[in-house]
Amino acid sequence: MANLRTMEVPVKGMDCTECTQHVQHAIQELPGVKSVNVLLAAEKATIQFDPTLVDLPMIRKAVAGAGYKVPESVPDPTPPAHTLQDFTRPVLTVFGIVFGVVLFIVVFGEWLGWFEKITELVPWPVGFALVLVFGYPVFKNVIQATLRRQVISHTLMTVGVIAALAVGEWATAAVVVFFMRVGDYAEKFTTDRARKAVRDLTAMAPQTARLERDGSEVDVPISEVQPGDVVIVRPGEKIPVDGVVLDGQATINQAAITGESMPVEASQGAKVFAATIAQMGSLRVKTTLVGPDTTFGRVVRMVEEAESNRAEVQRIGDRFATYYLPVVAGIALITYLVTRNPLSTAAVLLVACSCSFALATPIAMLASIGAAAKHGLLIKGGRYIELLAKADTVLIDKTGTLTTGKPRLTDVVRLNGLSEERLLTLAASAERYSEHPLAEAVRRAARDQDLRLLEPQEFVAEPGRGVRARVDETLVEVGSWRILGDQPLPAAAAELEKQGKTLLFVRANQELAGILAASDTLRPETPAALAELKRMGVRRIELLTGDNERTAAAIAAQLGIDYRANLLPEDKIRIVKEYQTQGHTVVMVGDGVNDAPALAQANVGIAMGAGGTDVAIEAAHIALMREDWTLLPRAFQIAQRTMRVVKMNLGFTMIYNIVGLTLAAIGILPPILAAAAQSLPDLGILGNSSRLLRQK
């Protein structure tokens, strides 16, 4: 498989987590397929394969053999004007009424002996045919899974149907079939609501763009737009690409990227993102990224792929469901050997429900990930929800994370006779191509004084130290105290550090030429957000910064947290590992650029203000799409609430099945009531999990 190719194919007909397993198994068996990732919410499969051994028609045939369909063409991402979700409340109301009425009829019908009379009046072959016809979709899936040597949730209930038919209880079998179909519909309904988050995101993507060509404007499909093209955006239109504003001015609604409804102003030089809306004003935008490569495209991909990072509790539930069938079969066998009562044995098989174990986690995770995405909070999978819910240690970067990341230069101290203008010109020129926020502060100060920057030669950036370049035949170094080597700090540095300022030292031809002091402001919402984290159970919050001791101490004192100063990027990784070795679950919060290694090492890496930042989105496990610290406790809240729902689901399922199996085994629960009872935990779990869709 030297020349592997990756392809995404849409898959229709998947309504549950087991559906994805069927599709994955069917495709995986094809020769030349290396890996398959089937996504329920996105309704697609991502396949890595050898094109010399397998092609799309073979994949389409394999999927069809599993009972699903690969469309001949990619469907329109725009949803219809009215969907099932538009009628959520009335549909749920009707659904609840129908279910309640049927359950009432079953309970009282058994008490009054109706089912015995029906069984006597209707011949067994007719009843058998009714069960077979209405249960055909379920039985077909079970047979296909069995031929593939798979055990699915409906396998156990199908065994119960067979047991009911074997003892002449075809009416009981019909009740089982009815509730299986009702349960399937309820799961489809809940999954479809959770899937709506991805559909809504996908539908936001513009399908056309207005290009400037040869002095005229022409509308073209988005697939024809290339980087470098100039796009025209009119008031009220969606921006179709990521790009830079060439001219014009507009108010941009960036809710599609950041989840924030407050608009921002964009003018010449500003970065704009696909799927955002120019509410007022028009723009000429030079394209930098198109389609799936845009920030919005990466956001959609993250949400789609989130379900593949499954929580450990979900894996445990899946394994339990696999072994549950032989356990129930064993209980049924023991029941028959002890009681010699075939009805009690059938009741044991009928009341046991393995669906609830399979449903307990994935629906809850899918619902939370979809709801969070609407608020600008991108979670890469259930695994990180589970870890975040039990996190007890939060480590935080300073610049661009705790602070606004837009420091301003406050002091210029000359030390070797250079004029202030010359010192600032050399420093700003050396920092000309640096991406550090302090470098921008130096350049901004030079621009404010109308100083002309020079072109640096031999530019080198050293993380944790600073930059080095040759400017106008002068070797210039700008950076932290580390560039001084063994040279002692000048007296002026100590006084500036006491004021909580960050210092940049400037050396010219290896001689200390001056000190630049900058200050950055804390985000106003940060203190309240940190207090909320402590209230939610985070025991330790610590500031990790490359700044000096005095500056770090001043900021940490304002926030009431611990700190470590003078750190290099590798030091932050070491500290993360140190806490992990001690048994802590560590969350690292950073800006996603300098902190990318520490974000990746942490149990959960959270990137602050990741909108438009490639490194942030890729390195972090959770991305906060806007620079707002209130999103951090919200992420913890979503995670903790989700895990509470999952634990409630699992606990309820466990207790319900133990009680049901016990009552059935000792003969208290007859087959017909056992058939009705087996569907209740599924509906309870679906209803409980659907609450997560309404997270505010």
User: Which tokens belong to 276?
Assistant: 């955002």
- Beta strand pairing status for 277-289 and 230-233? antiparallel
| First-last CA distance in the chain | 47
User: Which tokens belong to 66?
Assistant: 């599993």
User: Which tokens belong to 211?
Assistant: 């290009």
Residue 436 Cα distances to 1, 288, 594, angstroms: 43, 22, 9
CA distance 79 to 73: 16
Q: For the residues of 452-481, what is the DSSP string, one character each?
A: PPPPPEEEEEETTTEEEEEETTEEEEEESG
CA distance 14 to 325: 23
The angle that helices 124-134 and 153-166 make with each other, rounded to 10 degrees, is 170
Neighbours of 56 (CB within 10 A): 13
193 neighbors 690 (Cβ within 8 angstroms): yes
**Sequence-separated (6 or more) residues with CB below 8 Å from residue 586:** 391, 393, 394, 395, 576, 579, 580, 602, 603, 604
Residues taking part in catalysis:
397
Query: In terms of C-beta density within 10 A (0-12 exposed, 13-18 middle, 19 or more buried), how is residue 510 classed?
Result: exposed
CA distance 375 to 6: 31
**Three-state SS sequence of 67-109:** CCECCCCCCCCCCCCCCHHHHHHHHHHHHHHHHHHHHHHHHHH
Residue 394 Cα distances to 583, 584, 627, angstroms: 14, 10, 17
CA distance 620 to 603: 10
Neighbours of 694 (CB within 10 A): 8
User: Which tokens belong to 380?
Assistant: 């890469």
Which amino acid appears at position 630 of this protein?
T
Helices and strands (DSSP H and E) totals, the chain: 26, 23
